[in-house]
Chains A and B, each alone.
Chain A
Amino acid sequence: MNPYLPILFMLVIATAFALAAMALALFVGRPRPGPERKFAPYECGIEPVGSARDRFPVKFYLVAMLFILFDIEVIFLYPWAVVFRQLGVFGLIEMAIFLGILLVGYIYVWRVGALEWQ
């Protein structure tokens, strides 16, 4: 049996529960009509000013970009770590080179201030 089949069960159960609960709530707590401002998005009591989808700092984009690159690096580490004991010193040196190159990148990122959240 494929070991991932039970995970599919788990996913189906969790999704079914979530859907059923949301559907039940939709059925029990039917929305009642009201004045327009009842459905207005919350803005501390005042009427919403301007668009809610304002532009946001490019910083968030940069964080996501840096995350991708380091995440790929972490993924590369896993297969290496599994066979590490068989490889011994050789594996250590190989990974030191791999990480060393990326460490240069990390230091560069730090030095240009990309990790500063100002």
Chain B
Amino acid sequence: MPSVLQLVFLFFAAVTVVGALAVVLVRNLFHAALWLAVTFLSVASLFIVLNADFVGLSQVIVYVGAISVLMLFAIMLTEDVVGARGLSLRSAWPAALPVAAGVCVVLVRWFARYAWLPPQPPKPGGTAGTIGLAFIQKYLFAFELASVILLAALIGAIYLAKEERS
């Protein structure tokens, strides 16, 4: 008899898989981006079910609230995708299916070998503080490096938009 939490986990896991499949298979790009947002949301829910609430909510803010919106903007910017219906299945899909299944089997077997931690009880003060300490102490260099990467992305974004404008 699975617990309530396991049922919730299974539900969101199923939504994630269905959403991810829809992203790949739907022909209408705008709908694909929306399905991507659904997938991100359910992955965030999975994080929350696993007591990693800070990661989960950051996922919502960054991936659903920002990156998916950017994708929707980009799709609206480039192409007239209205009216595209149905699935986008190319003629090669029968060949792709066994490859995908094979990769899946390999990944699952590989993951099964890993000694997973047993479920951790939720931290009383929440996970945000732990992450903050890790940023400043253990992963300080990576943390500071992140700002350099963000800076590079910033300049890249300006450059791209400028190119298109001229």
Contacts and interface: CB of A to CB of B under 8 A. Distances in A.
- Note whether A and B contact each other (Cβ less than 8 A): yes
Contacts of B164: 58
Interface residues of A, number: 47
Interface in B111-166: 122, 126, 128-129, 131-133, 135-136, 140, 143-144, 146-148, 150-151, 153-155, 157-158, 161-162, 164-165
Contact of A90 (B5, B65, B136, B143): B136
A117 interface: no
Contacts, number: 125
Interface stretch (B21-29, B67-75, B84-92, B96-104): B67-75
Interface residues of B, number: 47
A53 B150 contact: no
Say what secondary structure dominates the interface of chain A: helix
Interface stretch (A20-28, A38-46, A65-73): A65-73
A87 B132 CA distance: 10
Interface of B: 4-5, 8, 48-49, 53-54, 58, 61-62, 65-67, 69-70, 73-74, 76-77, 80, 82, 122, 126, 128-129, 131-133, 135-136, 140, 143-144, 146-148, 150-151, 153-155, 157-158, 161-162, 164-165
Nearest to A75: B58
Interface string A85-112: 0110011001001110110110011001
Given A76-B146, A98-B143, A87 B151 contact: no
Contacts of A9: none
Contact of B77 (A55, A79, A114): A55
Contacts of B5: 2
A79 B66 contact: no
Interface string A43-69: 000000001010110111110111111
Say what secondary structure dominates the interface of chain B: helix
B161 A56 contact: no
B161 A53 contact: no
B97 to A, nearest CB: 34
Contacts of A61: 70, 73-74, 77, 161
A82 B62 contact: no
A94 B140 contact: yes
Contacts of A104: 151
Contacts of B143: 76, 94, 98
